Amino acid sequence: LVTIALTGGPCAGKTSALSALEASAKSAGYHMMVSTEIATLMRAGGCDEAITPALAFQTSLVRLQVQLEDALAAVGAATDLPTILITDRGAMDAKSYMSPHTWSAVLEAIGATEESLLSRYDGVIHLVTAADGAPQSYKWGNVTDDSGHWVYRKESPEEAIVTDRRTQAAWAAHPRRVIIPNAGSFSNKTKHA
């Protein structure tokens, strides 16, 4: 089992790139599993960051991220097939959305360290936000993403760039991290991933 965190800033193409990555993995003979983006799952379940203290929301998010990844990894390992698990964001992404103090409290609450979270992933693919290098493609507000799904993206282009760089910094210590900028078309970006 190989676990890859697919990460990046807002409107980087993570969710859209998953189908291309899945097709590529399957054509190479791999069984493919995908862990959905946990923040989206929690919001769909009624969790509202505006009324929930940051520590409670973020602790629950990271805990659920780890639990879902562990469950999928156990199923993938049981198949005896060569399996790739791609996570739509990973546990370290949460660090980008909170203060250092809150992040330390989250780590303490779940009994983890940054090193233990980083070691969960065999590799990290960081797709740079469209706001940085392809601003004409950056969509924010109530929009439909490239896969036709409704999304609410609150970050302005400037905020998206800041968030993207914080996400890059959160994963900087991973030894097998690849950053994919916006150069050329989106299909070239997904091919590079």
| pLDDT tens string 63-113 | 999 999 999 999 999 998 999 999 999 999 999 999 999 999 999 999 999
Quickly count: other Cβ atoms within 10 Å of residue 59's Cβ: 19
pTM: 0.92
Query: Which residue is associated with the tokens 């780590």?
Result: 107
Q: Three-state SS for 132? A: coil
- For 118-162, write each residue's pLDDT tens digit: 999 999 999 999 999 999 889 888 888 767 777 778 899 999 999
What pairing do the DSSP bridges indicate for beta strands 150-153 and 123-127? unpaired
